[in-house]
Amino acid sequence: MEKVFQQRGSRRQQRGFSLIELLIVVALILIITALAVPNFLKSRMAANEATTASAMKTIGTANVVYFSLYQVGYAGALAHLGPPGGACASISSGCAGLIDSVISGVNPATATPTKNGYRFTYYAPNPTPTQTSTNRTWSIVTSPVTPGTSGLGSFCFDFTNVLWKDSSGATTTAAATGCQPTWAGGGNIAPN
């Protein structure tokens, strides 16, 4: 009798999930993942676009402050709006400390900084403005680093405080005189 109880007990302990049950669970997990991932990517791209548009407006505000503080017009480069670092040791027209080090391209050092999946490209007539050679115009363009993954549309913002968006992301340049020459005429380009 003891042997019968031991055999029955050992069968119960060995019992677990069958292969079919495990395959069903794995299939359900894959289906749920297939439904959730595209929505997650769309949400992340929308968040990147919103953050980028906000950063461009921040750059616009910083440029207005820069214009009034240094009497040389607008900044000649994004680094002029950023914090001290590298060759610029203290707050000045070379590094005004008005925007963060990532967007300004100070840290890491680059002329086209990247933040939240977007590359920022700044345009100004004079790379180093002076009181005799001032910058009266400027523009900035952002485009997704990986189109379709980090974002879809590209943006342009300039001294007129108008934010332009190209939903296709095809327009990726502007002029030192502003967004208008490149961004004004297209069906999917509209001011926000």
- For 141-158, write each residue's pLDDT tens digit: 999 999 988 998 899 999
Burial status of residue 98 (CB atoms within 10 A of its CB: 0-12, 13-18, 19 or more): buried
In DSSP notation, 43-88 reads: HHHHHHHHHHHHHHHHHHHHHHHHHHHHSSBS-SSHHHHS-SBTTB
pLDDT at 35: 82
- Angle at CA of residue 185, ends 181 and 186, nearest 5°: 130
Collapse the DSSP code of 183 into the 3-class scheme (helix H, G, I; strand E, B; otherwise coil) and give the result: helix
Which tens digits make up the pLDDT trace of 164-188? 998 888 888 999 999 876 775 443 4
SS3 117: coil
Sign, Cα dihedral of 168, 110, 48, 178? negative
Query: In which band, very low, low, confident or very high, does the pLDDT at 63 lie, cut at 50, 70 and 90?
Result: very high
How far is CA 21 from its chain centroid? Answer: 44
Tens of pLDDT, residues 13-22: 557 788 888 8
